[in-house]
């Protein structure tokens, strides 16, 4: 084994710093082309975070933003976004200038680790730093292009991937936190709210998913995971409550077949709830933009 001299070691670390700085510049340039970056987070797994991300993307794309919405599946070890958006088995095209996202419904640009794995059985057995490196490459080397929205689907919890995304993406418009109404889920959702606050990103609000089930046969509503937990947490933590999405077996079926539920079953109570949530998110974002414009206008008038 060859041993590096102190000068060689210094040179290697200087090269690494330079490389990292160059990547930071590429990442910033790429993210600057995207108007709104929204992160979707949950305290625990299985609460419907990826389902919310996928349907949010479709809802935005169908509201005048077709071809200008991107989704980064930042769940490196458990990527499910390609399945939900019906783009499994696609590959990322690598051109001279970088990687090109796959194209999903309504031209949604999708990037996921799933596109890089040789088979369904291949696991990604990586420690935190490698996963962070992959996410930074997805943000800096992918040619996302000019987008109105980039949605980032995080793995559950507040681990390495969440930290990398929150610290790498400049000007995050806000974080959507998904929970189910149970107390077990409430316990961890508070951590997600605090995490977002500590990283100085705005919380766009909490979504309570799997909130009640209406029997299609008799119409009786059953609160499978209790109800009202999301609203309670939102009030306790002083963040907006975005709405409740009822359980609907068709959400699961559509996710499995890669069909956008919100379009396929647009009249269902869950699709209506999704659209109301999207409307609230848009209102917050547009309100913030308007506030910033007013501020800029006031500053420029003061400077005149
Ligand atoms: P997470 O990303 O939080 O791990 P997923 O979005 O993968 O969770 O959802 C877990 C499973 O629950 C999926 O099979 C999905 O289709 C299903 N699901 C999510 N939300 C609902 C809902 N409101 N009604 C019925 N099934 C749902």
Q: Which domains does the chain have, with CATH numbers?
A: 33-303 (3.40.50.300)
Q: What percent of the chain has pLDDT over 70?
A: 95
Distance of CA 229 from the midpoint of ligand 1 (Å): 17
The stretch 136-149 carries a mean pLDDT of: 97
With a 6 Å cutoff on the Cβ, whether 49 touches ligand 1 is yes
Q: Which of 207, 66, 241 is nearest to 149 (CA)?
A: 66
Q: What percent of the chain has pLDDT over 90?
A: 76
Cα–Cα dist 11/94, whole Å: 30
Nearest ligand 1 atom, CA 254? 16
Look at residue 101 in the predicted model and tell me its pLDDT.
96
Look at residue 297 in the predicted model and tell me its pLDDT.
66
**Residue 239: pLDDT over 90:** yes
| Lowest pLDDT segment from 46-55, 137-146, 281-290 | 281-290
With a 6 Å cutoff on the Cβ, whether 259 touches ligand 1 is no
- Banded pLDDT at 175 (limits 50, 70, 90): very high
With a 6 Å cutoff on the Cβ, whether 80 touches ligand 1 is yes
Look at residue 215 in the predicted model and tell me its pLDDT.
81
| Lowest pLDDT segment from 31-35, 214-218, 284-288 | 214-218
The stretch 71-86 carries a mean pLDDT of: 97
With a 6 Å cutoff on the Cβ, whether 56 touches ligand 1 is no
Distance of CA 276 from the midpoint of ligand 1 (Å): 19
Look at residue 174 in the predicted model and tell me its pLDDT.
97
């Amino acid at each position: 084994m060859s041993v590096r001299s102190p000068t060689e070691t210094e040179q290697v670390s200087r090269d690494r710093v330079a490389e990292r700085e160059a990547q930071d510049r590429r990442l910033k340039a790429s993210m600057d082309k995207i108007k709104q970056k929204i992160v979707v987070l949950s305290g625990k797994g299985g609460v419907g975070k990826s389902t919310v991300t996928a349907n949010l993307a479709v809802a935005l794309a169908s509201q005048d933003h077709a071809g200008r919405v991107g989704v980064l599946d930042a769940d490196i070890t458990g990527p499910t976004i390609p399945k939900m958006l019906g783009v499994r088995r696609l590959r990322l095209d690598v051109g001279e200038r970088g990687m090109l996202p796959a194209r999903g419904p309504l031209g949604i640009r999708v990037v996921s680790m799933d596109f890089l794995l040789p088979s369904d059985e291949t696991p990604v057995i990586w420690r935190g730093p490698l996963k962070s490196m992959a996410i930074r490459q997805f943000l800096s080397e992918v040619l996302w292009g000019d987008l109105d929205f980039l949605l980032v689907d995080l793995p559950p919890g507040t681990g390495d991937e969440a930290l990398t995304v929150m610290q790498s993406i400049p000007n995050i418009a806000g974080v959507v936190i998904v929970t189910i109404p149970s107390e077990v889920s409430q316990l961890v959702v508070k951590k997600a709210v605090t995490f977002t606050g500590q990283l100085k990103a705005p919380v766009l609000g909490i979504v309570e998913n799997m909130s009640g089930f209406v029997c299609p046969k008799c119409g009786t509503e059953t609160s499978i995971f209790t109800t009202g937990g999301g609203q309670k947490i939102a009030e306790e933590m002083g963040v907006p409550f975005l709405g409740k999405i009822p359980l609907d077996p068709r959400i699961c079926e559509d996710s499995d077949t890669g069909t956008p539920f919100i379009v396929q079953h647009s009249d269902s109570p869950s699709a209506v709830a999704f659209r109301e949530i999207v409307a609230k998110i848009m209102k917050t974002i547009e309100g913030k933009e308007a506030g910033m414009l007013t501020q800029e206008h006031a500053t420029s008038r003061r400077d005149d």
